[in-house]
Amino acid sequence: MKKLSRKEEELMQVMWYLKKAFVKDAIDQLPDPKPHYNTIATLMKRLEEKGFLAHREYGGTFEYYPIVEKEKYKDTFMKKVVSTFFDNSYFNMLAYFAKEEKLNQEEIEELMKIIEKNKKK
């Protein structure tokens, strides 16, 4: 799966939320200041070339829709993060968040419940 730029990821978040959209619909969902129409149209074409979006044509106007599921992208993205920053260790990643106090005690206990539940499977 090809890597997305920050702007492409932001637009994909909108597309996953909307499920299908014309350029104008996507622009309406983006934060202010709103990007120019041509900028978003170009990004959508680029996302289509990368295999993330497809379109239906209605009289010269394109309605885009995602063809890569958010979960699939998230899985690929997280594997890359774990590989690049945590030596391919999910333990190292969770330990990092615990050490940096990004997880509170309640969240750690919830993680432990999930781990215990999955051990029983």
42-46, 72-76, 114-118: least confident range: 114-118
pLDDT digits over 11-68, tens only? Answer: 999 999 999 999 999 999 999 999 999 999 999 999 999 999 999 999 989 999 999 9
pTM of the entire predicted model: 0.80
Report how far residue 75's alpha carbon sits from residue 68's, in angstroms, rounded to the nearest whole number: 12
Tell me the mean pLDDT in the region 74-91: 91
CATH code: domain 6-66 is 1.10.10.10
| Residues above pLDDT 70, as percent of the chain | 99
Q: How many CB atoms lie within 10 A of CB 23?
A: 20
Q: Where are the domains of the chain?
A: 6-66, 86-121
